[in-house]
């Protein structure tokens, strides 16, 4: 017998086998536009929306991948339906119906802009990764970024996320006065503030939007709440398709596996309606900073600290790295000796939080790939580890554990340059490979510190920090 594809027609027949939407997906309306439709969005924001749609039928999502047309087509073929499998003992499978439309933004930029301009839309969410927010070392829009530079002089920008988003907001300004919230769900410190600043700067620098005084309009109609999102969602796994077929009896080309834990903290900064995601467990707070510092500086930093030693040891996923005694000891020392002592005051118990995080990393059901974790190191180190080193230096403590993480990333760059250049995934990979090929030993590290903005200048120019990075490289090579 041919296994049927997931579709609205088969949904009712799945009741009892898997959890299905408690509303009719075909009768809900889009109130949210999302950019960055990957596994994380499907297992996070889409689940929150799914949980509130029965009571709030205007909260469905129109989601855009950045370039991946294949995924958008696969979801469209399933009428937006997909399965989330939660990796706990009973492997719950739940069909999510909140994504009503899926397209690629690169292929449909005008459509994206028109949807953001729709007065029924009250919120735009983004999961576009750190590199989509190009910043100079002092936090301004990086006009040297090639996509930004080209978008700045295009009548209809769309090559960069910031350009496309600003274009969509300009369209909204022409169409409605209803307020909108743009919510970045990326692992950046002050993600709302960063998005707001970059969009305003783009609007001020683009000739048409400057003329239209878009920035002033934005100030009165669009807020950019900061958020902290947390859920470990490993990349696509081949075995998942077969598991979903076993659980629900249907084929699903967009199924996603996730750990049970999820968290969404959102700054309460809305001019209009606030999305009712709190009914699904999201928490609105006046200030996200304490949550953000804990999550970025402990969880994300530990992830990054595990990635490079693990990759260099030939490991495949984070569980292998966190259960390797030597690598684990290094991360525990980093957390205990440098991260926790230099955290700003947080309400939670950071040591208990860190212990939970390391347990989550060791979950055998969630094999998060080190290749994915190690990608975009230049962006991640800056966000996750640099603030700890800055705080340590301010108190006169040489941050040798953070420097050791930077050293392990540099060793990974050198390894890739020598043996597997394709494995270095980074917006700066061309420059990094070039440095690693044309410099020797310690001068590789110094050249990287001098030319690649992996840490703020406050660190890259600091003699103590530079010496610590070199010491980290020497220790590793002994
Ligand atoms: C990870 C994050 O890929 C990465 O760099 O550190 O995606 C992490 O899994 C999430 O932030 C967890 O919430």
pLDDT at residue 478 in the model:
59
Q: What is the pLDDT of residues 286-331, one digit of tens each?
A: 999 999 999 999 999 999 999 999 999 999 999 999 999 999 999 9
- Reported as a pLDDT band with limits 50, 70 and 90, residue 236 is confident
Residues of the chain with CATH 3.40.50.720: 8-285
Which atom of ligand 1 is nearest to 384's Cα? 6
266: helix, coil or strand?
Answer: strand
Q: Which of 234, 361, 373, 375 most suits a substitution to test ligand 1, by most atoms within 8 Å of the C-beta?
A: 373
C-alpha triplet 384, 387, 388: angle, nearest 5°: 90
Rounded to whole angstroms, the Cα distance separating 457 from 471 reads: 19
C-alpha of residue 168 to centroid of ligand 1, in Å: 28
Residue 161: the pLDDT is 98
Q: Tell the residue nearest (CA) to atom 2 of ligand 1.
A: 300
Which residue carries 């898997």 as its tokens? 18
| Nearest residue (CA) to ligand 1, atom 3 | 373
CB atoms closer than 10 angstroms to residue 246? 10
Averaged over 368-383, what is the pLDDT? 97
Q: Which fold has domain 289-477?
A: 1.10.1040
Per-residue pLDDT for 119 more than 70? yes
Whether 38 shows a pLDDT value over 90: the answer reads yes
- Any residues with Cβ below 6 Å from ligand 1, and which? 187, 230-232, 300, 303, 372-373, 380
Confidence of residue 16 (pLDDT cuts 50, 70, 90): confident
- Looking at residue 2, its pLDDT comes to 79
pTM over 0.95: yes
pLDDT at 194 over 80: yes
pLDDT recorded at residue 237: 78
* pLDDT tens digits along 385-409: 999 999 999 999 999 999 999 999 9
CA angle (79, 83, 87) in 5-degree steps: 165
The proportion of the chain whose per-residue pLDDT surpasses 90, expressed as a percent, equals 92
Question: How far, in Å, is the centroid of ligand 1 from the Cα of 110?
Answer: 31
pLDDT at 476 over 80: no
Confidence of residue 346 (pLDDT cuts 50, 70, 90): confident
Radius of gyration for the chain, computed over Cα atoms and rounded to the nearest angstrom:
22
223 SS3 class: strand
User: Which of 264, 293, 299 has most ligand 1 atoms within 8 Å of its beta carbon, as the pocket-test mutant?
Assistant: 299
Report the separation in Å between the CA atom of 91 and the middle of ligand 1, taken as the mean of its atom positions: 21
Give residue 122's pLDDT band: very low, low, confident or very high (50, 70, 90).
very high
DSSP helix/strand/coil, 40 = helix
For residue 348, the model assigns a pLDDT of: 85
Give the model's pLDDT for residue 388: 98
pLDDT at 1 (0 to 100): 67
Q: Which residue from 71, 66, 34, 65 is spatially nearest to 50, judged by alpha carbons? A: 34
Predicted confidence band at 137 (pLDDT cuts at 50, 70, 90)?
confident
Q: What is the pLDDT of residues 411-468, one digit of tens each?
A: 999 999 999 999 999 999 999 999 999 999 899 999 999 999 999 999 999 999 999 9
Boundaries of CATH 1.10.1040.10 in the chain? 289-477
User: What's the CA-to-centroid distance between 300 and ligand 1, angstroms?
Assistant: 6
Rounded CA-CA distance 130/11 in Å is 37
In this structure, the residue with its CA closest to atom 6 of ligand 1 is 300
Number of Cβ within 10 Å of residue 419's Cβ equals 8
Q: Does domain 8-285 have CATH number 3.40.50.720?
A: yes
Which whole-number Å values give the CA distances from 298 to 44, 48, 192, 193, 385, in the listed order? 20, 25, 20, 21, 9
Confidence tier at 138 by pLDDT (50, 70, 90): confident
Mutate which of 39, 131, 187, 257 for ligand 1 pocket (most atoms within 8 A of beta carbon): 187
Question: Tokens representing 243?
Answer: 């598991």
End-to-end C-alpha distance for the chain, whole angstroms: 60
In the chain, % of residues over pLDDT 70: 99
Per-chain mean pLDDT for the chain? 96
CB 219 within 8 A of CB 259: no
């Amino acid at each position: 017998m041919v296994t049927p594809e997931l579709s609205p027609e088969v949904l009712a027949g799945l009741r009892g086998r898997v959890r299905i939407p408690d509303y009719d997906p075909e009768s809900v309306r889009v109130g949210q536009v999302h950019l960055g439709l990957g596994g994380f969005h499907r297992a996070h924001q889409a689940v929150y929306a799914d949980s509130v749609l029965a009571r709030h039928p205007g909260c469905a999502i129109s989601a855009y991948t950045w370039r991946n047309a294949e995924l958008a087509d696969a979801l469209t073929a399933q009428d937006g339906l997909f399965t989330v499998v939660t990796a706990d003992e009973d492997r719950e499978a739940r069909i999510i119906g909140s994504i009503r439309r899926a397209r690629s933004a690169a292929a449909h930029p005008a459509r994206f802009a028109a949807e953001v301009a729709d007065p029924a839309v009250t919120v735009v969410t983004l999961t576009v990764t750190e590199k989509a927010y190009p910043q100079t070392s002092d936090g301004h829009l990086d006009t040297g970024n090639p996509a930004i530079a080209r978008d700045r002089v295009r009548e209809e920008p769309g090559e960069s996320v910031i350009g496309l988003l600003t274009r969509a907001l300009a369209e909204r300004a022409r169409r409605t006065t209803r307020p909108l919230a743009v919510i970045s769900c990326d692992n950046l410190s002050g993600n709302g503030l960063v998005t707001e600043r970059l969009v305003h700067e783009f609007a001020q620098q683009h000739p048409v939007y400057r003329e239209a005084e878009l920035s002033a309009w934005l100030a009165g109609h669009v807020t950019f709440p900061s958020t902290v999102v947390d859920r470990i969602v490993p990349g696509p796994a081949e075995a998942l398709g077969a598991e979903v077929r076993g659980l629900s009896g249907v084929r699903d080309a967009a199924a996603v596996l996730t750990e049970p834990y999820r968290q969404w903290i959102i700054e309460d900064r809305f001019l209009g309606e606030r999305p009712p995601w709190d009914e699904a467990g999201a928490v609105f707070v006046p200030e996200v900073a304490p949550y953000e510092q804990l999550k970025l500086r402990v969880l994300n930093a530990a992830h990054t600290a595990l990635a490079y030693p693990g990759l260099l040891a030939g490991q495949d996923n984070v569980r292998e790295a966190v259960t390797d005694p030597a690598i684990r000891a290094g991360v525990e020392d980093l957390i205990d000796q440098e991260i926790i002592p230099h955290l700003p005051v947080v309400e939670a118990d950071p040591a208990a939080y860190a212990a939970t995080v390391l347990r989550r990393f060791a979950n055998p059901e969630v094999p998060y790939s080190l290749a994915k974790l190690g990608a975009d190191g230049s962006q991640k180190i800056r966000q996750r580890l640099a603030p700890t080193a800055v705080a340590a230096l301010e108190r006169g403590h040489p941050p040798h554990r953070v420097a050791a993480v930077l050293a392990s990333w540099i060793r990974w760059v050198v390894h890739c340059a020598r043996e597997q250049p394709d494995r270095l995934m980074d917006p700066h990979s061309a420059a990094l490979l070039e440095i690693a090929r044309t410099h020797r030993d310690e001068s590789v590290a110094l050249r990287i510190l001098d030319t690649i903005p992996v840490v703020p200048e406050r660190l890259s120019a600091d003699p103590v920090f530079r010496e610590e990075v070199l010491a980290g490289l020497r220790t590793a090579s002994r």
